Amino acid sequence: MHVRVDDQVYVLTGKDTGKTGKIIACFPKTGRVIVQGVNIATRHVKPRSRTQQGGIIRQEMPIDASNVMLVCPNCKRPSKTGYRFGDDNRKVRFCKACNETISVVRKNVKKSGSSDEGKKGDA
């Protein structure tokens, strides 16, 4: 996908055309994203237990990733993105309008199954 979580995007089509927001979640298998403050739906929720309160909840719903365009953090305008290989031979995104590399802020997420325990051949 051309956008990732925490990217600032501009909505191209739909009822929220022209709005900008931050991506909260990405779903690459379905090609959809959830943008903060965009495509808000109203849900009527019943109370499930005595402690949970029911009511009307407003929440963001997914929109297609092709309907959003990345706002370049360098030139501050919606632009197309491309891919090229950086100095360390890793694939990086760049803005096609200003030709600047779009920095990636990676959170330290430990992948499950990455530990060395339980691998065969450790005898």
**CB–CB of 83/101 below 8 Å?**
no
pLDDT digits (tens, 9 = 90+) for 55-102: 999 999 999 999 999 999 899 999 999 998 888 888 889 999 998 888
Which residues have CB under 8 Å from 9's CB, separation 6+?
3, 20, 21, 22, 23, 33, 35, 68, 69, 70, 71, 78
pLDDT of residue 32: 96
Ordered by start, the domain boundaries in the chain are: 8-78
Encoding tokens for residue 87? 């100095």
Tell me how far apart the alpha carbons of residues 9 and 16 are, in angstroms, rounded to a whole number: 12
DSSP state of 104: -
Encoding tokens for residue 97? 């309008």
Which residue would you say has higher pLDDT here, 119 or 2?
Answer: 2
Q: How confident is the model at residue 123 (pLDDT cuts 50, 70, 90)?
A: very low
**CB–CB of 38/63 below 8 Å?**
yes
CA 19 to chain centre: 16
CATH 2.30.30.30, domain 8-78, yes or no: yes
Residue 25 in this model has a pLDDT that exceeds 60: yes
| Lowest mean pLDDT segment, chosen from 32-36, 87-91, 108-112 | 108-112
Q: What is the pTM of this model?
A: 0.75
Tell me how far apart the alpha carbons of residues 95 and 123 are, in angstroms, rounded to a whole number: 50
pLDDT of residue 24: 95
Q: How confident is the model at residue 50 (pLDDT cuts 50, 70, 90)?
A: confident
Region 107-119: what's the mean pLDDT? 54
pLDDT, mean over the chain: 86
pLDDT of residue 110: 55
